[in-house]
Structure formats: structure tokens, C-alpha cells
Amino acid sequence: MFIGVRVRRLIGIFLFMLALYFFIAMAPFFSRLLYPLPYKEIIVEHSHRYNLEPQLVAAVIRVESNFHSGAVSAKGARGLMQIMPETGAWAAAQVGMNDFAPEKLFDPLVNISLGTWYLQDLYRNFSGNTYAALAAYNGGRGHVKRWLEEGIWDGSRENLEDIPFAETRIFVLKVEKAYRRYHQLYNAEEL
């Protein structure tokens, strides 16, 4: 049976519009596949305990380990939030965790508990400056403190290019991007 050119075009436009509607309607579902939130309960509990946004903690975890609890960096950082064993031991002592051992950093509960405490401590240390806290999380508290004191970097988003460590600049930008997506996909009522 012969279908005219106009009818085929109309059918094509209709199918395209239907596909577009389906894609838009399903976009949050697909986006959540790209930006999952494993360990949601642990992230939410410890984020709230340490007065952090769960979306920010999820963004740090995504950038640090992509939610792989067994991740180990080339420098030896471990677990979801990529905590160095020495930092983990120090943080554990601060929160009264007496049975800390470096292999516990692979346990999501321990890792997120210590990582959120540490991130909150950096926030406190840098007067609530998110960019300085994130830079310190990646590049080290001492380095960021020196950069700020010596005027190398002013702690602002606008001057991230002044951060001497390229890895730290990239880390902060990646966390910021992931944070925006998590904030779009997971609202405050949900978390």
C-alpha cells in the first residue's frame, strides 16, 4: 500500500514528538542512572550529623571513588571518600573510634562517617568556605592554609585557576559539577 509523502512526514513528526516526550518524561530516571546514590542512608545520616548537604557528600564520593568502596588511589587513599590511613586514624581518634584499623576504611559506614566528619572539620577550619574546604580535602589542609595566608589563592570560585595544584583545581570543579547534578536530581525532602 502506498503512503503519501505528507502522511509519512506527519507520522515521522508524530513519532519524533512521542519519542521526545518519552525522553523528557523519563529524563530524571535516566539521569539518576548516571548519578546514582548508593549508600543513601549512610550518606544522609552522617551528612546531617555533621551539618553537610547529602548532595555534596555524594558529589565528593562520586568524584573520589565513583562509589567503589574498595577503591585505592596511587597514593594509598582508601574507600568511598578516599581517606588516607593516617587521616583516618587521626579522624577516628577525634570522634572516639577506638577500634580503628586502616582496612576499616573499606567499610562504607566507617569511611563515610570519618569522611563526613573530616569534611565538616575542614569547613570549620576554613570558616564555611566550600571551595577552600574542598581544595583542602584534596590538596591538604596545610597547603590551602598557606595559599590563603600568602595570597596565592583567595579561596573564591572565580579564582580557582590560582590554586597551584592542577589536580586540586580539577577536583573542586568536578565536585561542583556533580553537586549541581545531585542537587537537581535529589531534592532536600528526599534527603
Residues 166 and 83 in one domain: yes
What is the distance between the alpha carbons of residues 3 and 119, in angstroms, rounded to a whole number? 64
Q: What is the pLDDT of residue 26?
A: 57
pLDDT at residue 2, as a whole number: 58
Tell me the pLDDT tens digit for each residue of 97-150.
999 999 999 999 999 999 999 999 999 999 999 999 999 999 999 999 999 999
Domain count, the chain: 2
Closest CA to 136 of 102, 111, 163: 163
In a shared domain, residues 60 and 146: yes
Q: Is-contact 17 11, C-beta < 8 A?
A: no
Same domain, 70 and 87: yes
* Residue 107 burial (C-beta neighbours within 10 Å; 0-12, 13-18, 19+): middle
What is residue 78's three-state secondary structure?
Answer: strand
What is the domain range of residue 23?
1-34
CATH number of the CATH domain containing 72:
1.10.530.10
Query: CB–CB of 82/63 below 8 Å?
Result: no
Q: Cβ(148)–Cβ(155) under 8 Å?
A: yes
Catalytic pick among 41, 45, 53, 64: 64
| Residue ranges in the chain modelled with pLDDT below 50 | none
Please name the residue that has the C-alpha cell 577516628. 92
User: Are 59 and 71 in the same domain?
Assistant: yes
Rg of the chain's alpha carbons, rounded to an integer? 22
* 116 and 168 fall within a common domain: yes
Active site residue 64: yes
Task: Output the pLDDT for position 28.
Answer: 73
CA atoms of 64 and 3, how far apart (whole Å): 56
**What was the pLDDT predicted at 111?**
98
Neighbours of 109 (CB within 10 A): 15
Residues 6+ apart with CB under 8 A from 35: 62, 178, 181, 182, 185
